Amino acid sequence: MGYPMAGHLSKQNNCDLFIFNRTTQVVDKWLNKYKGHKFDFNKLPRFKFDGLILCLKDDASIIDLLIKNKLFKCLKNNSFIIDHSTTSLELVNLITSNNEIVKRKISFFDSPVSGGEAGAIKGSLSVMIGGPDKKLSIVKKLIDPYSKTIVKIGPNGHGQLTKMVNQICIAGLIQGLSEAIALGKTSNLNMTKVFSAISNGAAQSWQMDNRFNTMVNNQFDFGFAVDLMIKDLKIALEQSKSNELNLTISKSVLKKYQLLSSTNSGNLDTSSLVKLFDV
């Protein structure tokens, strides 16, 4: 998702971008398409940026780059970090309590996104922000090119908590769609007509609008993978323990996704949950 998001940023006249990916070929491909520069870790002390935007797959990746390899060293004092990754609250606390980050007054914004790869390409992501009010107006203006909605939820951690709510909603919706499609197909219904009949009623959702027909046709190549949802649901369920909640549906869906992953389907889109019905 970071690839098209950075592409949108590159089209802004007042944004001078330096790009990094752990796979060099991805950077080269991006630079052949968009305007920017290659970031070189070997020249880390020479860089002094106004801000840093992260979009990585998990806590470990962020800790490795930002903390262990001291990527924050490339930032000016009183600068900012925007993290669009989906992470744990522990990761947020680790960053916001880092002595050097605090000492240099670097503002951190946990800013996970929703909308998938399609939303990143279209520039229509929903961004949920946790962090300070300081520099918030700058952050909103910067990320606007790839965002449809930007909402400051509350202090640090509230962005990630909101993303947990988001993922729980998605998981339940996809399970419901899977069961509904299984019933419709095994009843020999015309599923195109079924969609026309129900998609503008109470059953309507983003998942139905964008995934119903592809699920019916066994198409599962849309970017946000099963293995990523497994990671996200584990984070949400771990938080639910702290809140003394028993989220039975989320636990059930997590087990189903883990079953899919064990059958070499971990890279398929999350809508592939319907595959377990074999219809």
18-19 vs 37-38, strand pairing mode: parallel
251 is catalytic: no
Q: Which of 152, 163, 231, 275 is catalytic?
A: 163
225: which strand partners? 269
Q: In degrees rounded to 5, what are phi and psi of residue 150?
A: -130, 115
Tell me which amino acid residue 161 is.
L
For the chain, give the DSSP string. Answer: -HHHHHHHHHT-TT---EE--SSHHHHHHHHHHSS-EE--GGGGGG--EEEEEE--SSHHHHIIIIIIS-GGGGEEEEEEEEE-S---HHHHHHHHT-HHHHHTT-EEEE--EESHHHHHHHT-EEEEEES-STTHHHHHHHHGGGEEEEEEEESTTHHHHHHHHHHHHHHHHHHHHHHHHHHHHHTT--HHHHHHHHTTSTT--HHHHHHHHHHHTT---SS-BHHHHHHHHHHHHHHHHHTT---HHHHHHHHHHHHHIIIIITTSBGGGGGGGG--
**Catalytic annotation, residues:** 163
